[in-house]
Amino acid sequence: MVSSEQRPMYRFLAVHTIASVVGLQAWLILFNNFAVEAAGLDGRQVGIIQSVREIPGFLALLAVYVLLVVREHRLSSFSIVLLGLGTAITGFFPSFSGLLATTLLMSFGFHYYETTNQSLTLQYFDTTTSPLVFGRLRGFAAAASIVVALFVLFLDRLLAFKGIFLAIGSLVFLAGCWGLVQEPTRQGLVPQHRKMILRRCYSLYYFLTFMAGARRQIFIAFSVFLLVKIFHFSVMEVTLLFLLNNTVNAVLGPMIGRAVVRFGERRVLSVEYFGLVFIFLGYAFTGSKIAVSLLYVCDHILFNFAIAIRTYFQKIADPRDVAPSMAVGFTINHIAAVVMPAVGGALWLLDYRIPFIAGAVMSLVSLIAVQRIPAAP
């Protein structure tokens, strides 16, 4: 799949992707129970914290200027260090203000890694290989999530929240330190612009990225909270659901990359958004624990289809625009993401179904928009 000269970057991205997922998934598994049981937060406060979690994504465009003084792969590793540190100290601050601070630190690490991860993948791998690499990295991420879910399940019997956050965060921190001493780059790449890039010809990419951020944050902010608050899932039940979900995605991740190559971005994204309409409506109206668990797994499967937005951009973009455009795209993705969880949290207090109905509407709009993608970009 990758050549010998591409292998160092592939290994670098694989290790960092696994580390980022370990940190984030452990945080996601534990956060809602930690917020409810240890910090005593309500839906409005959880929504605010989830909005704060997206502020670093909104500020991702600043990565363009950081790259003036820091090489991109170094920024990638340093981001993993921040993610590990933020995760490690979360358990020491069981309060609304404490969770705001640790979430912000953790999130800066995660979002800046995601920005550099996407950029490096599109720069180092061509249009035929990049979907396969994205798919394989998704598979690695899902497999890592299985391991961390089992680890959390094991540690839950031995340690309090503080100890679990500290143990997992420390592992992520060490992975970032490993990356800081690596040199996975190679000569001959197209030089990247070191300024913010906005072009009219990328408008469909910008719109799809914006809509993906809006409807995706509804899922991230409220799906697990729905499981805990409405369906009364325990830490063990949430962990087992994560385990099932990631087992499925570890198998399907590489297959989705191949599907993008074979069927094209328009068809793959159409399947994603068509399915999401029904998944969000299912969240809103199901009363079954089994049904909501299946919806959660299906949602994650479709989330992997979003790699087609990035590969569509790679096919239409000037190669010099990749790094700044990934940063700008990440910011666009998080414009709505910063606002949506807080607004959704307020709407949750009126009726928990409203945020999910909004997600269904956004998915329908995205389905219409992807029909503008040409069959051969």
Domains of the chain: 7-181+196-372 (1.20.1250.20)
Confidence check: pLDDT of 176 > 90? yes
- Find the mean pLDDT for residues 215-229: 80
Q: Which H or E element spans position 119?
A: helix 96-124
Q: Residues 193-211: what's their mean pLDDT?
A: 83
At residue 350 the predicted structure's pLDDT band, cuts being 50, 70 and 90, is: confident
| pLDDT value of residue 279 | 93
Tokens matching residue 261: 């190559």
pLDDT over threshold 90, residue 58:
no
Q: What is the pTM of this model?
A: 0.80
* pLDDT score, position 62: 79
With a cut of 80, say whether residue 220 has pLDDT above it. no
Q: What is the pLDDT of residue 52?
A: 82
With bands split at pLDDT 50, 70 and 90, how would you rate the model's confidence at 281?
very high
- HSE value, Cβ hemisphere, 13 Å, CA-based, for 246: 25
- Residue 272 near residue 221 (C-beta atoms within 8 A): no
Q: Of the segments 89-93, 187-191, 231-235, which one has the largest average pLDDT value?
A: 89-93
d(CA 31, CA 52): 14
Looking at per-residue pLDDT, the higher value among 4 and 121 belongs to 121
Question: Within 13 A of 237's CA, how many CA atoms are on the CB side?
Answer: 15
The yes-or-no verdict on residue 330 having pLDDT over 80 is no
Q: Which residue has the tokens 């791998």?
A: 125
Tokens (6 digits) for 233: 């899932």
pLDDT score at 168:
92
Report whether 288 contacts 227 (CB < 8 A). no
Return the higher-pLDDT residue of 113 and 46.
113
Res 188: pLDDT = 65
Most confident region among 10-19, 23-32, 114-123, 333-342 by mean pLDDT: 10-19
Is the pLDDT score of 31 beyond 70? yes
Residue 377: what pLDDT?
A: 59
- Distance, CA of 30 to CA of 26 (rounded, Å): 6
What amino acid is encoded at 328 in this protein? Answer: V
pLDDT of 337 reads: 66
Q: How many CA atoms lie within 13 A of 149 on its CB side?
A: 21
pLDDT of residue 129: 84
348 close to 47: Cβ distance less than 8 angstroms: yes
Q: Over 80: is that where the pLDDT of 64 sits?
A: no
Residue 161: predicted pLDDT: 86
Q: What is the mean pLDDT of the chain?
A: 85
Q: 140 or 330: which carries more pLDDT confidence?
A: 140
For range 132-153, the mean pLDDT: 84
Checking if the pLDDT of 303 tops 90, the result is no
pLDDT at residue 125, rounded to an integer: 84
pLDDT in tens, 83-119: 999 999 998 988 888 899 999 999 999 988 988 888 8
- Given a cut of 90, is residue 169 above it in pLDDT? yes
Decide if 257 contacts 133 (C-beta within 8 A).
yes
**Mean pLDDT, residues 212-218 taken together:** 80
> What pLDDT shows up at residue 304?
84
pLDDT at 323: 75
Residue with tokens 């009363």: 287
Task: Give the angle subtended at the CA of 376 by the CAs of 370 and 377, to the nearest 5°.
Answer: 65
Write the CB contacts of 32 (distance below 8 Å, at least 6 apart in sequence): 46, 224, 225, 227, 228, 229, 238
